[in-house]
Structure 1
Amino acid sequence: MLLVTLCSDDMSMEVTLYGRFSNLSYTNQRCNCILLELLDASVSELLLHSINRGHSMWMIQHCARDVLSALAFIHREGYVHADLKPCNILWSAEDECFKLIDFGLSFQEGNQDVKYIQTDGYRAPEAEFHNILAQMGLESNTECTTAVDIWSLGIILLEMFSGIKMKETIKSPQWKANSCGIIDSIFASKDMIFPAIPVYHLRDVIKSMLRDDPAQRTTAERALYNPFFSIPFAPHIEDLVMLPTPVLRLLNVIDDSHLRSEEEYEDVVEDVREECQKFGPVMSLLVPKENPGKGQVFVEFRSAGDCKIAQQMLTGRMFDGKFVVATFYPLSAYKRGYLYHTVVNDT
Structure 2
Amino acid sequence: MDVSPGSVDQAMKPVLFEVFGEIWNVQARLGQGASASVYRVSSGRSSSAAVKEFQADTQGGDYGFHKERSVLEDIQGHKNIVTLYGVFTNHNAMGVSTRCLLLELLDVSVSELLVRASNQGHSMWLIQHCARDILEGLAFLHREGYVHADLKPRNVLWSADDECFKLIDFGLSFKEGHQDVKYIQTDGYRAPEAELQNSLAQAGLEADSGCSSAVDLWSLGIILLEMYSGTKLKETVRSQEWKDNCAAVVDQIFSSNNMVYPAIPVYHLRDLIKSMLHSDPKLRGTAETALISPFFSIPFAPHIEDLVLLPTPVLRLLNVIDDRHLHNEEEYEDIIEDMKEECQKYGSVLSLLIPKENPGKGQVFVEYANAGDSKEALRLLSGRTFDGKFVVATFYPLSAYKRGYLYQTVQ
Of 163, 183, 189 in structure 1, the residue corresponding to residue 230 of structure 2 is 163
- Inter-partner Cα distance in structure 1 for 2:186 and 2:101: 23
Of 114, 125, 136 in structure 2, the residue corresponding to residue 58 of structure 1 is 125
Structure 2 residue 410 is the aligned partner of structure 1 residue 344: yes
Structure 2 residue 249 is the aligned partner of structure 1 residue 182: yes
1:198–1:228 contact (8 Å) kept in structure 2: yes
TM-fit CA distance, 1:128:
0.4
- Inter-partner Cα distance in structure 1 for 2:169 and 2:277: 23
TM-fit CA distance, 1:163:
0.7
Residue of structure 1 equivalent to 2:15: none
Change (3 A) 1:127 1:14: closer
In the TM superposition, 1:174-323 aligns within 5 A as 174-190=241-257, 193-323=260-390
1:15–1:36 contact (8 Å) kept in structure 2: yes
- Unpaired runs of 5+ residues, structure 2, are 1-69
Letter matched to residue 129 of structure 1:
L
Q: Which has the higher contact order (CA 8 A, sep 6+)?
A: 1
TM-fit CA distance, 1:22:
2.0
2:81–2:137 contact (8 Å) kept in structure 1: no
With the length of structure 2 as denominator, give the TM-score of the two structures: 0.79
3-state DSSP of counterpart to 1:69: helix
1:5–1:100 contact (8 Å) kept in structure 2: no
More displaced stretch, 36-45 vs 189-198: 189-198
3-state DSSP of counterpart to 1:308: helix
Letter matched to residue 144 of structure 2:
E
3-state DSSP of counterpart to 1:237: coil
- Inter-partner Cα distance in structure 2 for 1:185 and 1:252: 41
- Inter-partner Cα distance in structure 2 for 1:238 and 1:209: 28
Q: Percent identity?
A: 71
TM-fit CA distance, 1:61:
0.4
More displaced stretch, 198-207 vs 235-244: 235-244
3-state DSSP of counterpart to 2:292: coil
Structure 2 residue 71 is the aligned partner of structure 1 residue 2: yes
- Inter-partner Cα distance in structure 1 for 2:150 and 2:217: 11
- Inter-partner Cα distance in structure 2 for 1:321 and 1:133: 68
Change (3 A) 1:152 1:24: farther
Change (3 A) 1:117 1:28: farther
- After superposition, what is the alpha-carbon deviation per residue over 1:161-205, rounded to whole angstroms, capped at 9, x for unaligned? 001111111111111122111111111123661000000000000
- Inter-partner Cα distance in structure 2 for 1:154 and 1:274: 47
2:120–2:259 contact (8 Å) kept in structure 1: no
3-state DSSP of counterpart to 1:203: helix
Change (3 A) 1:47 1:79: same
- Inter-partner Cα distance in structure 1 for 2:79 and 2:87: 23
- Unpaired runs of 5+ residues, structure 1, are none
TM-fit CA distance, 1:16:
3.0
TM-fit CA distance, 1:113:
0.4
Change (3 A) 1:138 1:31: farther
Residue of structure 2 equivalent to 1:42: 109
- After superposition, what is the alpha-carbon deviation per residue over 1:60-95, rounded to whole angstroms, capped at 9, x for unaligned? 000000000000001011100000000000000111
TM-fit CA distance, 1:51:
2.9
- Counting matched residue pairs gives 340
- Inter-partner Cα distance in structure 1 for 2:156 and 2:117: 16
TM-fit CA distance, 1:115:
1.0
Residue of structure 2 equivalent to 1:137: 204
1:253–1:319 contact (8 Å) kept in structure 2: yes
- Inter-partner Cα distance in structure 1 for 2:386 and 2:366: 16
- After superposition, what is the alpha-carbon deviation per residue over 1:83-110, rounded to whole angstroms, capped at 9, x for unaligned? 0000000000111000000000000000
- Inter-partner Cα distance in structure 1 for 2:390 and 2:248: 46
TM-fit CA distance, 1:47:
0.5
- Inter-partner Cα distance in structure 2 for 1:28 and 1:152: 41
Of 75, 78, 89 in structure 2, the residue corresponding to residue 22 of structure 1 is 89
More displaced stretch, 235-244 vs 96-105: 235-244
Residue of structure 1 equivalent to 2:173: 106
Residue of structure 2 equivalent to 1:120: 187
1:283–1:301 contact (8 Å) kept in structure 2: yes
Letter matched to residue 73 of structure 1:
F
- After superposition, what is the alpha-carbon deviation per residue over 1:16-45, rounded to whole angstroms, capped at 9, x for unaligned? 3333222479x9975421110111000000
Letter matched to residue 71 of structure 2:
L
3-state DSSP of counterpart to 1:35: strand
- Inter-partner Cα distance in structure 1 for 2:282 and 2:130: 24
Structure 2 residue 142 is the aligned partner of structure 1 residue 91: no
In the TM superposition, 1:61-80 aligns within 5 A as 61-80=128-147
3-state DSSP of counterpart to 2:305: helix
More displaced stretch, 268-277 vs 66-75: 268-277
